[in-house]
Amino acid sequence: MRDNFDAIISRNTLFWLLVTNVAVLSPLYQQATLWSIGICAICFVWRVGIYLGKVAAPPKLLVTSLAIGAATTLALVSSEIGLLNALVNLLILGYALKYIEMREQRDVKAIVLVGYFLIALTLLDQQGMLNTLHLFTVVIINTGILISVYQDKSNKFANLGFSVKLVLQSLPLAILLFVVFPRLGPLWLVPNMKSATTGLSDEVSFGDISKLTRSAELAFRAGFENLDGSTTGPANQDLYWRTLVMESYDGKTWRQDPSIKNLQRQAYFQKPQRDKAILTGQSRKIDYIVISEPSHQKWLYGLDEAFSDNSQVVELPDYSLYSLRSVDQRMSYRVTSYPDNVMELTLKDNTKKLNLALPPNSNLKTQALAKKFAQDYPDPQARLNAMMNYFAEQAYYYTLSPPPVGEQQIDDFLFENRAGFCAHYASAMVFMARASGLPARMVTGYQGGEYNPQAGYYSIYQYMAHAWTEVWLEGKGWQRFDPTAMIAPQRILDGFDATFDSQSSYLQDSPFSTLRMKQYPWLNELRQQLSSLDYYWSVWVLGFDEERKQQVLSKLLGDVTSSKIALMMIFSFIIIALVIGYYAGLFSQDTQQDPLNKRYQLVCQRLAKRGIPRPQGQAPQDYANDVVARLSDKHPRLAADFNALSQAFMALKYQPLTPEQSLQQQQQFMRLYRKLRLRLLRS
């Protein structure tokens, strides 16, 4: 087929281009600069004016000026927004500017092709179920626009229906390749977009974690896979999701050990190896899958002691999990935890020194209290128990809005304010343990989880962020101590909502959060059902790794071999080709009858049963005259309707009509056809 590049763009195509322009660009608003959004808005409004006939096409000088201004602005801000963000904005601006200067059908093809690139780019960053459905719809509309260039119809939805058929016909092949094709690792590293990080930080000061209690965002989800087939995990008080370990303290801020940060930087080129020699067959094992939400950071989550076979996950010496790449989209990884394992039975001298260090002349009152504990309780375990009981016996309070502290933070907290959040209590416990001669460190992560019985998984939100203490004991390794359990035991036993009012914490800044449905049972059940769909999508589509692939193929083929996979692919290709060929009419021996003729003949056949047959070769007008002559006395309405049907039929078949006239005659014919078909059937 030869392209008619000079053909005028139809209004049908222009209408769907307006729809697609918004649908393609709207998911990229987070990456677009204000300048890019402004230019896109100008181009869209101008195009609406052209569509409505209010304005003419813009002069080329204006389009060129916008392009030069946009390129200059991007060059100036590229260092601030990042290289990839700059390239995304450049593509967005190219799409918008080409859209406003569009004059011929070849311009439409260029816009459609760039639209496919933008859809693919969006899919790299937004792979949620709703995002995918949205982009799937945009693909259908974009394909319909391309079809309209070659096959324009007056009905706005005609080309869209053909596009739906094409896309649906491609789905079986896409599903087959998705299941069978090997999972390949990334062939290159894409520069990260400069996006705001969410969740925990690698530095913790008083009040940092309490800020997360005002966030209702989902941090990650975890689905347990027990041997008995159940999906429930450990009790809430055992759900300590380890994320970061803080060992350096300067009197104000807790930080990761520089040696750990150095390992993180080198992890992509040289993976650190954690000692697994302590694993035994008698160790209690917990298998689960974690689906992390985008945090634009690299630390991951796991219960103690966590191991993962995922090639993109690193097991650090401080028993945390670390991703080789920034978590810029949902990430699924499998974890096996051994909660009874001893963590670091033998402590190295440099590690011991680091976890005993205290800032000079810092919190002298707390140091004096710790030394008294050491004097009264020589046994380390008894000493730590006494410290824990100290928080329960004294008048301490757990609050989301702790009062401010001065330079001697822990002294002010322990002896003056006596009110704080988890970071306050964990910091004080670590400081006292170190001052009494016991190596200790702070661990940050999340505690608890909301169980969804519909799909059997746990949702962990940002407001569940938590900090606790680890103390190293001879012969026992690192042991967890959580002072929060002494001050607010319900926070640990039953979760965050058992202690704090959601309206004054994580829902205060989230007026549209779905967590507000929790107070209404039927709405909460609906929320969990919708969340279950998204969870299944994450597990079976986004998390479809080699292990799940082998499970599916084993159910289909039994023993999975290369020859069986090849035969399955060949057989599937043949079936798909036959189905497409059937719907394309390749196996039809007779030419398909025109639907207009078919409907007209059906009415004629029903009139023949009433004694008014149509002789072979008789013209439609002559037959209409016969029917009117025979029925006008007894059934005048029927005669008039058939005569009108015949006039519409002849106009559509033999008269040159404009698109508007053709549509009008088609509607008239279909209305009369449905009316006559039912009337003749009843009589």
Write a three-state SS string for 114-130: HHHHHHHHHHHHCCCHH
How many Å apart are CA 151 and CA 640, to the nearest integer?
36
Give how far Cα 4 sits from Cα of 17, 51, 154, 395, Å: 19, 22, 19, 84
pLDDT for res 3? 40
Taking residues 333-359, report their average pLDDT: 92
Render 164-227 in DSSP notation, one character per residue: HHHHHHHHHHHHHHHHHS--PPPSSPPPPP-----S--SEEETTHHHHHTT---EEEEEEE--T
What percent of the chain is modeled with pLDDT above 70?
92
Render 555-575 in DSSP notation, one character per residue: HHHSS--HHHHHHHHHHHHHH
How many Å apart are CA 375 and CA 118, to the nearest integer?
68
pLDDT for res 236? 93
Taking residues 413-442, report their average pLDDT: 94
pLDDT for res 357? 94
Q: Are 152 and 20 in contact (CB under 8 A)?
A: no
Lowest-pLDDT range, 271-280, 498-507, 598-607?
A: 271-280
Is residue 499 over pLDDT 90? no
pLDDT for res 153? 61
Q: Name the amino acid, one letter, at 578.
A: L
Is residue 643 over pLDDT 60? yes
Please, is 278 exposed, middle or buried when counting C-beta atoms within 10 Å of its C-beta (0-12, 13-18, 19+)? middle
How many Å apart are CA 320 and CA 245, to the nearest integer?
8
Active-site residue set:
422, 466, 482
pLDDT for res 6? 41
Which segment, 105-119, 139-153, 561-575, is predicted with the most confidence on average? 105-119
Give the sign of the dihedral formed by CA 404, CA 408, CA 413, CA 415: negative
Confidence of residue 63 (pLDDT cuts 50, 70, 90): confident
Q: Quick: pLDDT tens for 355-408.
A: 999 998 899 999 999 999 999 999 999 999 999 999 999 989 988 888 888 889
How many Å apart are CA 160 and CA 148, to the nearest integer?
9
Which two three-digit tokens encode residue 209? 């974690």
Confidence of residue 282 (pLDDT cuts 50, 70, 90): low
Confidence of residue 182 (pLDDT cuts 50, 70, 90): low
Is residue 70 over pLDDT 60? yes
Give the sign of the dihedral formed by CA 232, CA 236, CA 237, CA 242: positive
Is residue 301 over pLDDT 90? yes
Pairing mode, strands 248-249 and 313-315: unpaired
Lowest-pLDDT range, 223-237, 534-548, 574-588?
A: 574-588
Lowest-pLDDT range, 192-201, 379-388, 404-413, 471-480?
A: 192-201
Q: Are 157 and 542 in contact (CB under 8 A)?
A: no
Q: Quick: pLDDT tens for 561-612.
A: 888 888 888 888 888 888 777 766 666 655 556 788 888 888 888 888 888 8
Q: Are 461 and 216 in contact (CB under 8 A)?
A: yes
Which two three-digit tokens encode residue 481? 């101590």
Taking residues 128-134, report their average pLDDT: 85
Q: Which residues contact 570 (CB under 8 A, 6 or more apart)?
A: none
What integer best gives the mean pLDDT of the chain? 84
Give how far Cα 110 sits from Cα of 97, 170, 388, 443, Å: 12, 23, 69, 53
How many Å apart are CA 627 and CA 640, to the nearest integer?
9
Query: Of 593 and 191, which is predicted with more confidence?
Result: 593
Confidence of residue 188 (pLDDT cuts 50, 70, 90): very low
Write a three-state SS string for 265-296: HHCCCCCCCCCCCCCCCCCCCEEEEEEECCCC
Token pair 């005609």: residue: 158
Among 444, 500, 498, which residue's Cα sits nearest to residue 469? 444
How many Å apart are CA 442 and CA 467, to the nearest integer?
7
Q: Quick: pLDDT tens for 197-206.
A: 567 888 888 8
Q: Are 370 and 428 in contact (CB under 8 A)?
A: no
Taking residues 30-40, report their average pLDDT: 83
Residues in the chain: 683
Which two three-digit tokens encode residue 106? 């070849």
pLDDT for res 683? 58
Which segment, 121-125, 208-212, 385-389, 529-533, is predicted with the most confidence on average? 385-389
pLDDT for res 2? 40
Q: Which residues contact 533 (CB under 8 A, 6 or more apart)?
A: 129
Chain centroid to CA 495: how far?
26
Which two three-digit tokens encode residue 296? 């634009």
How many Å apart are CA 414 and CA 436, to the nearest integer?
16
